[in-house]
Amino acid sequence: MKEYKIHLSQQEEKLHRKLVKSRLNKCESKLKDKKKNYEAGNKTTPLSKK
């Protein structure tokens, strides 16, 4: 029973790491998109407009 529990927690840890990684990647790509949009917006519109 204990061995099974350990095995399970290792599997869960792997899944959790994958989840965290995918979340991080999503956040990073969102940030990159925001930055791109912001920079593109800066070129076309004045700052006072925002």
Helix (H, G, I), strand (E, B) or coil at 38: helix
Q: What are the pLDDT digits (tens) for 9-41?
A: 888 889 999 999 999 999 899 999 988 888 888
Distance between CA atoms of residues 13 and 21, nearest Å? 12
Residue with the larger pLDDT of the pair 19 and 6: 19
Task: Map out the domains of the chain as residue ranges.
Answer: 1-44
Distance between CA atoms of residues 32 and 19, nearest Å? 20
Judge whether residue 4 has pLDDT over 60: yes
Residue with the larger pLDDT of the pair 21 and 7: 21
Quickly state the pLDDT bin for 45 (edges 50, 70, 90).
Answer: low
Quote the pLDDT of residue 25.
Answer: 93
What predicted TM-score, i.e. pTM, was given to this entire model? Answer: 0.50
